[in-house]
Amino acid sequence: MKFTLSAKKACRLLLGTAMLLTALCLAACAPTQAPTPSTPKDAAGGIPGYKRTTPEAANLAKVGQERLERGRYLLAVDAFRAALTYNPGPALESRVRLGLAQAYEGARQRAMAVDQLRHMPAKGSDPEALVKAALLLGELERKLGQWAQAEATLRRVLDNPNRPLSDAERKKALSTLADTQADLGHYGQATGTILEIAAMQGGQMSMGMRDRLGEVSGRASAAELEAQLGKPRPPALNALLLLSLAKAQLREGRLEEATSTAAQVATLTKDPDMQAKVKAVQKDIMQARMVNPVAVGAILPLSGPWAQPGREVLAALELGLGLYETTTGNAPVLYIADSKGKALESVTAVDKLVDQHKVMAIIGPMGAAASLAAARQAQLRQVPLISLARVDGVVRAGDYVFQNSLTPSRQMDGLLHEAVDLRGLKRFAVLAPDNSYGRGFASLLRNGVVARGGSLVRVVYFDPTAKDYTPYVKKLVQLPAKKFRPGEKDAPQPKIDFQALLIPDGPQAVAMAASQLRYFDVTGVLLMGTDLWHDSRLLELASRDVQGAVFPGLFNASASGDPLVKKFVNEFTSAMGRVPTLLEAQGYDAALVLRHLISQPQPPRTRPAMRHALLEVKDLPGVCGTLSITPQRIFNEAVTIFTVKGKIFRPVQEQDRVLPEAMADPNAPVDPAASGDAAGTGGPEAKPAPPAAMQPAGESHPSQ
């Protein structure tokens, strides 16, 4: 079949039209695809020299907006980004970047959203888009913690908007600005901003906004609040500001003015809630009159058998409070009471410090019985007390009782983490004094080992007054009671069916026990101790016999790289003639915390305020590490596991965890049922007391 010339031209025309329609269709679909990676882009997101039409960008912007409204944020991002590749004009670009930022915010990619808002076109932008972008930018900067930038952004849009703000927009911007100012600690400015919102509403405030104003103004200075007063406002609003002023005057120690201001508040309003708040402030003012805001009390055994350790801890407290330093601002004053190491004397000491010396807080005592008695009395008198007793449960006396000590449970957690979790040991034994201290640690070890899937193979208790540990060591490794010389041809061999041995006692007892262990060839076992091992006397008496042993601690006197530790060690050694131990270091840190709080520009003025301030202590440098106080009122320094290397103590290092062959022997017998004391003592009477009843060794030493 032949086509005429006109038919051929018509066919070519139809074919060309079809190709053109196809190209247009492809062009309309193409923008949803990402640009070729090899094509360079400019800073605005467009392609240099790539000329396309604004309608195409507008269509993609419309698609992005529809997806944004449907909550399909990532798909909206794709459409808005595609729109930017068409080099839209500044007006459309500003709207696209706003939509892109909103989509990123919906997808929780706030940093990406902020980046888009900060790249709005400098000229020719849509004023509507610029205002909405500025409001969103300020909100996102605050959420990202960029408070200074957020404050500048919000102040700019409030003072010089690209178009007049609606009342709703102004309130939203002011509300975000007030939150930002509070984040920055600018409580006076935040108070003024909230009052500006109230003025827009004719002085009317919702209950939520009133609470917010009370919270913010309650932390502003007296001068800032005085500047806000005197302006025409509803009486209820002025009453709220005056109440905050009374609180500020109380914080600043202006008690007479605080009393007068609180009385003035009572005459302005009959609202029951406000009247209750006035009474609370008046109660705080009365309490502030009953205390000396710089007074600290110490309860220590300064006479009797434990006078020497008491005096040593007292020296550490004096150094921690900076009593011998020239300081500016509030300087602590220390009042001292002698507990004589007794419970009744400690109760009397609490009352004396509260009534006669008006102390804000107390440090001490040291011994278990004295500390528990003092803690109960401090709770009764509502005075914060920081106990130094190494016994669990002191803080159960009440919410005014704090504790800075390496308690038995913390020690055992640290030891078992090292022995079980890091070294893989499973079989344990105990050689402990037959008293509450030894039995308590045996019980803690048993519970901790079983919880970690291990076993306590044997427990042997010894007389705390014993001078010869031979019978106890023989029982531990099941040697006959008869006399023999180890190492001889027919000498019985020790049964070492455990990988680690805990000896919870002081240096002298450990030295004698370790010597007997070596004599009877009890080797290849990890020796573990308590914080009582961290004593230079152990190195003098038994350094050869305890090499590689481990024990818990918090204080490393040889940490010469820490200037605070070096300062404390040098000053204490100069005063007392020896290197400080953990007990003195913890006393120093307790005093350091109180010194930090007292020396603030606005220190706590009441004992409840001091209690609250103690609970807010976070990341304060101390000689035992970074100091933070938990909601359970415990000083939460990280436990360090020390070892003996040569003639020094040092923290355990990775190379110290290589197990001797005997210790890691997989064929050593394991008897999971042999848990507790029956395997070693043969009777139920030797069962350890529960950890809650644990007391230091016979109340024999206040540091235990």
Whether residue 425 is contained in a domain is answered as: yes
Looking at residue 669, its pLDDT comes to: 45
**pLDDT-based confidence at 325, cuts 50/70/90?**
confident
Does residue 48 contact residue 42 with C-beta atoms inside 8 Å? yes
Same domain, 654 and 583: no
Burial class (CB within 10 angstroms; exposed 0-12, middle 13-18, buried 19+) of 106: middle
Encoded tokens for 556: 């490393």
Whether residue 579 is contained in a domain is answered as: yes
Looking at residue 13, its pLDDT comes to: 41
Burial class (CB within 10 angstroms; exposed 0-12, middle 13-18, buried 19+) of 439: buried
Whether residue 421 is contained in a domain is answered as: yes
Looking at residue 103, its pLDDT comes to: 96
pLDDT at 6 over 80: no
Q: Which amino acid is at 455?
A: S
Q: Before 365, cis peptide (omega within 30)?
A: yes
| Average pLDDT estimate for 79-87 | 92
Of 379-393, 656-670, 680-694, which has the strongest mean pLDDT?
379-393
Q: Whole-angstrom Cα distance, residue 598 to residue 618?
A: 16
From first CA to last CA, the distance across the chain in angstroms is 115
**pLDDT-based confidence at 659, cuts 50/70/90?**
low
Encoded tokens for 196: 């500006």
Least confident of 205-209, 310-314, 655-659, 676-680: 676-680
Residue 698: partners with Cβ closer than 8 Å, 6 or more residues away: 435, 436, 437, 464
Same domain, 266 and 311: no
Does residue 428 contact residue 499 with C-beta atoms inside 8 Å? yes
Encoded tokens for 273: 């809630």
- The three-state secondary structure class of 101 is helix
Looking at residue 689, its pLDDT comes to: 35
Backbone angles phi, psi at 682, to 5 degrees: 75, 20
Does residue 218 contact residue 191 with C-beta atoms inside 8 Å? no
- The three-state secondary structure class of 432 is strand
Rounded (5°) CA angle 640-365-573: 55
Evaluate the CA torsion angle 638, 644, 650, 653 in order and state its sign: negative
* DSSP letter string, 93-149: HHHHHHHHHHHHHHTT-HHHHHHHHTT--SSS--HHHHHHHHHHHHHHHHHTT-HHH
Q: Tell me which of 259, 289, 319 is where a domain ends.
A: 289
Looking at residue 30, its pLDDT comes to: 44
Encoded tokens for 2: 């032949």
- pLDDT tens digits for 510-562? 999 999 999 999 999 999 999 999 888 899 998 899 999 999 998 988 876 78
Whether residue 27 is contained in a domain is answered as: no
- pLDDT tens digits for 638-652? 899 999 999 889 999
Does residue 117 contact residue 156 with C-beta atoms inside 8 Å? no
Same domain, 463 and 566: no
Same domain, 545 and 579: no
Q: Tell me which of 254, 289, 324 is where a domain ends.
A: 289
Q: Whole-angstrom Cα distance, residue 532 to residue 538?
A: 9
Least confident of 153-167, 378-392, 444-458, 656-670: 656-670
Whether residue 552 is contained in a domain is answered as: yes
| Average pLDDT estimate for 390-398 | 90
List 363's β-bridge partners, or say none. Answer: 298, 386
Percent of the chain with pLDDT over 90: 67
**pLDDT-based confidence at 87, cuts 50/70/90?**
confident
| Average pLDDT estimate for 355-383 | 95
Place of tokens 């596991």: 641
Looking at residue 492, its pLDDT comes to: 87
Does residue 441 contact residue 481 with C-beta atoms inside 8 Å? no
pLDDT at 498 over 80: yes
Whether residue 199 is contained in a domain is answered as: no
Same domain, 499 and 470: yes
pLDDT at 49 over 50: no
> What own/partner pairs with CB < 8 Å and gap ≥ 24 does 252-257 have?
252/221, 252/222, 252/602, 253/288, 253/293, 253/605, 254/222, 255/285, 255/288, 255/289, 257/222
Residue 208: partners with Cβ closer than 8 Å, 6 or more residues away: none
SS (H, E, C) 463-532: CCCCCCCHHHHHHHCCCCCCCCCCCCCCCCCCCCCCCEEECCCCHHHHHHHHHHHHHCCCCCCEEECCHH
Does residue 366 contact residue 304 with C-beta atoms inside 8 Å? no
List 30's β-bridge partners, or say none. Answer: none
- Residue among 446, 647, 627, 625 at smallest CA distance from 545: 647
Same domain, 324 and 365: yes
Mean pLDDT of the chain: 85
Q: Which residue has the higher pLDDT, 51 or 584?
A: 584
Looking at residue 313, its pLDDT comes to: 96
Same domain, 686 and 663: yes
Percent of the chain with pLDDT over 70: 85
Q: Whole-angstrom Cα distance, residue 166 to residue 175?
A: 14
Q: Tell me which of 257, 289, 321 is where a domain ends.
A: 289
Same domain, 300 and 393: yes
CATH code (residue 665): 3.40.50.2300
pLDDT at 342 over 90: yes
Q: Which amino acid is at 230?
A: G
**pLDDT-based confidence at 236, cuts 50/70/90?**
confident
pLDDT at 696 over 90: no
Whether residue 487 is contained in a domain is answered as: yes
**pLDDT-based confidence at 456, cuts 50/70/90?**
very high
Same domain, 472 and 492: yes
pLDDT at 210 over 70: yes
Domain total in the chain:
3
Same domain, 459 and 591: no
Alpha-carbon distances of 9 from 2, 6, 17, 356, rounded to whole Å: 13, 5, 12, 117
pLDDT at 704 over 50: no
Same domain, 398 and 451: no
- The three-state secondary structure class of 205 is coil
Whether residue 151 is contained in a domain is answered as: no
Looking at residue 327, its pLDDT comes to: 66
Does residue 101 contact residue 116 with C-beta atoms inside 8 Å? yes
Looking at residue 560, its pLDDT comes to: 64
Q: Whole-angstrom Cα distance, residue 680 to residue 477?
A: 9
pLDDT at 160 over 50: yes
- Residue among 142, 317, 173, 676 at smallest CA distance from 461: 676
Torsion of CA 107, 110, 113, 118, to 10 degrees: 180
Least confident of 51-55, 123-127, 507-511, 596-600: 51-55
Does residue 60 contact residue 80 with C-beta atoms inside 8 Å? yes
pLDDT at 268 over 60: yes
- Which range marks the domain in which residue 656 is found? 408-558+640-699
Same domain, 496 and 368: no
Does residue 76 contact residue 41 with C-beta atoms inside 8 Å? no
